Amino acid sequence: MDAEWISTHALSLWAALLAVALLGADLAWRRAVRRREGLDPASRGFLRPATALAVVAATCLLATAVAIQVRDRAGLTVFDASLASDLRANMPVPVLRVVATVTHAGDPLVVGAGTLLVFIALLVRRHHRLAGAWITTLVGTALINSGLKAIFQRERPLHDHGFVVEHSFSFPSGHASGSMVFYGMLAYVLLVLSPPRAHRVIVLAAVATITVVGISRILLQVHYFSDVLAGYATGLGWLTLCAGSAEYLRLREGRKALT
């Protein structure tokens, strides 16, 4: 697919990706309902260990492949540069203004403040195990992202529109990985604590926010396509590992309580 064509149809593609993500989330939620109702007795909880391991392995492989392309300045980085340049030429100013507002949902200040508030709320409500899993997951993703940025030290694409200005290194996208982990883990916490009737809305809201924030970074030209792809991959791998471990411990604790 040509970078110029993508930049020309960027908003339509953004909407299509959001629709696909929401459809996938809805299908996953429906399957979870079937498991909960006993129609799929082979699995329990929100995430099966085999599925979690497969997701972690796949995301690690994807992140590694993208990182190699970025390090070697191979074919993907050529596409990155072309797309960023074409978006700079084709994105209307009013659209950039709206997208710049949306992207703040993944800002470090927003995610950091939300992390602290959720952590305190879990401690106050005596959900100590969830609180531990929550803070470990969020602190861990910040350290992973900071470490990767320091290793690759990739400069950002030119973004002189003035709506959002970033000075840190570009690879991987902290907004993509941060929103994946923050809103994904928040969804897991809410799924554990809320009644089943609210689960569908929780899942769809989390997926919508993660999708919108990550892609907004490309539209604003503050990240290359591969930055966001790597951010999503590292974030999803870490989220799956942490949420899967938390779910395993929760189910084990529940089995012990029944014996």
Q: What percent of the chain has pLDDT over 90?
A: 47
What's the pLDDT at 36? 61
Q: Dmax of the chain from CA atoms?
A: 65
Q: What is the pLDDT of residues 78-120, one digit of tens each?
A: 888 888 888 888 888 888 899 999 999 999 999 999 999 999 9
Give every CB contact of residue 146 below 8 A, 6+ residues apart in sequence: none
Q: What is the pLDDT of residues 55-82, one digit of tens each?
A: 888 888 888 888 888 887 878 888 888 8
Q: Is the model's pLDDT at 184 over the cut of 60?
A: yes
Could you tell me the pTM of the whole model?
0.88
Contact indicator for 80, 224 with CB cutoff of 8 Å: yes
The mean pLDDT value for 130-148 works out to 95
Q: What is the pLDDT of residues 22-62, one digit of tens each?
A: 888 777 777 766 666 654 444 445 566 667 778 888 888 88
Q: What is the pLDDT of residues 121-137, one digit of tens each?
A: 999 999 999 999 999 99
